[in-house]
Amino acid sequence: MHGGAPGGQSGRFGKTRTRIASADEAAQRAENAEAPKIPHLLRRISELFAPHKAALATTVVLVLIGAALSVIPPLLTQRAFDDGLFPVGADGEATGGPNLPVLATLVLAMIAVFIIAALLGVWQTWLTATIGNKVMGALRVRLFTHLQSMELSFFTRTKTGVIQSRLQNDVGGVASVLTNTVSSVLGNTVTVISAFVAMLLLNWQLTAIALVLMPIMVLAQRRVGQVRARLAGKTQESLSEMTAITQETLSVSGILLSKSFTRQQSEIGRYADENQNQIRLQVKQQMTGQWFFAMVNIFMSSIPAIVYLAAGWLITGGLADVTAGTIVAFTTVQARLLFPLMGLMRVALDLQTSSALFARIFEYLDLKPSITDAPDARDVTNGPALGRVEFDDVTFRYPDADGDGRPTLDGVSFVIEPGQYAAFVGPSGAGKTTVSYLVPRLYEASGGSVRFAGDDVRELRQESLISNIGIVSQETYLFHATIAENLRYAKPDASDAELEAAARAANIHETIASFPDGYDTVVGERGYRLSGGEKQRIAIARVLLKDPAVLVLDEATSALDTISERVVQQALDDASRGRTTIAIAHRLSTVVAADVIFVIVAGRIVERGTHAELVANGGVYASLYRQQEERPVLEV
């Protein structure tokens, strides 16, 4: 691909689109069938909690206190039965009735323990929920920030929906799992440990019988978790594809396209097919391990009956001194052990599943931007050279281009002096737009050097470089917000007077003032409530509010009708006055007044000069200009 914007959406319609897309989608799914292999994944996850050490330490203290408190009620239950309800004397004989004072004291003690434990539980839940959500919030911002630093080529080769899914679905899935997990792991671990300790204190023989099959269940749980982790990766890929379909087809442009070609049913079918795949994966993920949990539930529920039988055998054989209070307390503790243990096993499965989501998140975080500031990068010098743009033997290939093919730009050299109006013209695909990408360093030159204000752009801070360059492209992007908010995107602290001045300079103020809501008019998604000429002039006003030293116009009027083009061209002429202007032009009539015109063919500058000089030379420019001048006659 040469010249125009890289990437782009292919025209995939009906069966033809499905066939074209199927191989690509199948390869992507095969590649992502399992989560990416991320080294030191557990260590990297644990590092996310480093800023919350104090809260975690407090939580651990609460866990320990909770563990100590949860051991007490079963022991009090044993004493309530043996000393309060059915007391015996020194000779081992029943004393004839309950000891109410002792029983009342034990009951009050149990209630006090329950109240304290509940209060500590609320505090602990608040801490764990706060920690979990803060960790995930920081991870979400970190991922968004990292994506902002990625070079333009990353976004031209990656579907927007896939990026959105990674940021929303993956991080959202981890957030829900981890927030619940922190609370569940701590709470259930406390309960399980305390129950196990209480069971040992009551009778170690019964404890051994009750827990004999636990190691087998742990091993089975691990195997189930591995299967669910693999399914989680496939499920998230399916979600990514659904998000991409939604983003493509339910945007204003997508809806216009599908309605224009009556392809709504085709789009519905594509979404329904992926939705069916998502349902299948979700059901499969949910059902994985259900038989395992059913067996665990049966086993744990059967333990009380087994305990009764084992207690009878121990008493009959004289192998242990087991009282009624011991049996009641033991089965009470065991019942309290069932649900926390099941919860821990489910949490373990969720953690294994979330590891797949974490791996996908870290895969994006590990991407290295190909364009970064040098360690000693400096700001653009605000001097007499500000506005000077120079290409010195620049060669460029797009990152995804065939290495054996010709480069997009091949040995291009030129100098544009401060305040000059320079135009780049040539056939489609010649490399004109690529020039506009290299000046603000949206792409990195493969060879040679691009200089701005006398300095190589690789030696300048990107933020400083971009702040001195304003870009008006053919495809104007406006947010679904008011006109004033769209204008202030260039200068957030701009006053109303500054907005009006920029709008007047762009020849759009009178139009805005004619709207019922004026500058508070909501433009709709991508500005679809405005005409093409209105959108372009608002874009020009936005750039004027930025007041850059260099203005880049990338075919800013090529998509407009003749009347709109004249109005916008007048605004562009006013905007370019007094600043360096680089115009990428398709319609040569818009650049006849340029100080210098560069003609690019197949990535090389073949002609340069003013309009009059190039027409007089009778070369490529003259031929292009003659064709455009004659076209209206030929069409008639």
Residues 114 and 217 reside in one and the same domain: yes
The two beta strands, 389-396 and 580-584, are unpaired
Strands, E assignment, 242-338:
none
Residue showing tokens 């989608």: 25
Euclidean distance between CA atoms 582 and 551, whole angstroms: 6
Tell me the sheet residues that pair with 580. Answer: 550
pLDDT at 525: 74
Q: Is the pTM of this model over 0.75?
A: no
Q: Using 50, 70 and 90 to split pLDDT, how confident is the model at 452? A: very high
Q: Using one digit for the tens of pLDDT, what is the confidence trace for 166-204?
A: 777 777 777 666 666 665 676 677 777 777 777 777 777
Residue 28 falls within a domain, yes or no?
no
Residue span of the structural domain in which 494 resides = 477-545
Q: Say which residue, 524 or 484, is predicted with more confidence.
A: 484
pLDDT at 395: 92
What token pair was written down for 504? 């007047």
Q: Using 50, 70 and 90 to split pLDDT, how confident is the model at 628? A: confident
pLDDT at 2: 42
- CATH number of the domain that 413 lies in? 3.40.50.300
The set of long-range contacts for 133-136, using a CB threshold of 8 Å and a minimum separation of 24, is: 133/175, 133/179, 134/52, 135/48, 135/49, 135/52, 135/178, 136/171, 136/174, 136/175, 136/178, 136/179
pLDDT at 1: 39
Residue 24 falls within a domain, yes or no?
no
Residue 111 falls within a domain, yes or no?
yes
Q: Using 50, 70 and 90 to split pLDDT, how confident is the model at 391? A: very high
Residue 2 falls within a domain, yes or no?
no
Residue where one domain finishes, among candidates 300, 332, 365: 365
Residues 269 and 333 reside in one and the same domain: yes
Residues 110 and 206 reside in one and the same domain: yes
| Contact between 271 and 246 (Cβ < 8 Å) | yes
Residues 121 and 87 reside in one and the same domain: yes
Q: Using 50, 70 and 90 to split pLDDT, how confident is the model at 392? A: very high
| Contact between 177 and 353 (Cβ < 8 Å) | yes
- Please give the share of the chain, as a percent, with pLDDT higher than 70: 73
| Contact between 297 and 342 (Cβ < 8 Å) | yes
Q: What is the DSSP letter of 6?
A: S
Three-state DSSP class for 391?
strand
Residues 601 and 496 reside in one and the same domain: no
Euclidean distance between CA atoms 114 and 122, whole angstroms: 12
Indicate the range of 34-38, 302-306, 521-525 predicted with least confidence: 34-38
Question: Looking at the predicted structure, is the pLDDT value of residue 533 above 90?
Answer: no
The two beta strands, 550-554 and 580-584, are parallel
Euclidean distance between CA atoms 263 and 403, whole angstroms: 37
Residue where one domain finishes, among candidates 365, 384, 410: 365
Residues 319 and 392 reside in one and the same domain: no
Q: Say which residue, 5 or 459, is predicted with more confidence.
A: 459
Q: Of 24-28, 38-42, 599-603, which one has max mean pLDDT?
A: 599-603
| Contact between 367 and 150 (Cβ < 8 Å) | yes
What token pair was written down for 534? 């209105």
pLDDT at 26: 40
Q: Say which residue, 446 or 212, is predicted with more confidence.
A: 446
Q: What angle do CA 279, 283, 287 make, to 5 degrees?
A: 175
Question: Looking at the predicted structure, is the pLDDT value of residue 34 above 90?
Answer: no
* DSSP of 499-555: HHHHHHHTT-HHHHHHSTTGGG-B--GGGTTS-HHHHHHHHHHHHHHH--SEEEEES
Mean pLDDT in residue range 110-129: 84
Residue showing tokens 């919030």: 137
- CATH number of the domain that 310 lies in? 1.20.1560.10
Residues 518 and 585 reside in one and the same domain: no
pLDDT at 11: 38
| Contact between 436 and 152 (Cβ < 8 Å) | no
Question: Looking at the predicted structure, is the pLDDT value of residue 99 above 80?
Answer: no
Residues 234 and 171 reside in one and the same domain: yes
Q: Using 50, 70 and 90 to split pLDDT, how confident is the model at 405? A: low
| Contact between 147 and 163 (Cβ < 8 Å) | yes
Residue 144 falls within a domain, yes or no?
yes
Element (H, E) at 259: helix 252-260
Q: Using 50, 70 and 90 to split pLDDT, how confident is the model at 602? A: confident
Euclidean distance between CA atoms 413 and 415, whole angstroms: 7
**Which residues are CB-contacts of 521 (< 8 A; sequence separation ≥ 6)?**
482, 483, 512, 515, 529
Neighbours of 61 (CB within 10 A): 12
pLDDT at 335: 67
Q: Using one digit for the tens of pLDDT, what is the confidence trace for 195-236?
A: 777 777 777 777 776 666 566 666 665 666 566 666 766 776
Euclidean distance between CA atoms 604 and 601, whole angstroms: 5
Euclidean distance between CA atoms 320 and 322, whole angstroms: 6
What token pair was written down for 412? 């291009």
Tell me the sheet residues that pair with 581. Answer: 421, 551
Question: Looking at the predicted structure, is the pLDDT value of residue 13 above 70?
Answer: no
Q: Using one digit for the tens of pLDDT, what is the confidence trace for 231-273?
A: 766 776 777 777 777 766 766 667 666 766 677 787 788 888 8
Sheet containing strand 604-609, edge to edge, reads 469-473, 550-554, 580-584, 421-425, 596-601, 604-609
**Which residues are CB-contacts of 398 (< 8 A; sequence separation ≥ 6)?**
1, 6, 153, 408, 443
Q: Using one digit for the tens of pLDDT, what is the confidence trace for 304-348?
A: 777 777 777 777 766 666 666 677 777 777 666 666 776 776 677
Number of domains in the chain: 3
Q: Of 323-327, 361-365, 459-463, 628-632, which one has max mean pLDDT?
A: 459-463
Residue 173 falls within a domain, yes or no?
yes
User: Terminus-to-terminus CA distance in the chain, angstroms?
Assistant: 34
pLDDT at 342: 67
Mean pLDDT in residue range 28-56: 68
Average pLDDT over the chain reads 76
Residues 221 and 289 reside in one and the same domain: yes
Residue 16 falls within a domain, yes or no?
no
What token pair was written down for 108? 């009050």
What token pair was written down for 582? 């680089």
Residues 260 and 382 reside in one and the same domain: no
Handedness of CA 109, 114, 117, 119 (dihedral sign): negative
Residues 511 and 573 reside in one and the same domain: no
Euclidean distance between CA atoms 185 and 344, whole angstroms: 6
Residue 118 falls within a domain, yes or no?
yes
Residue where one domain finishes, among candidates 545, 573, 591: 545
Mean pLDDT in residue range 352-371: 80
Residues 464 and 321 reside in one and the same domain: no
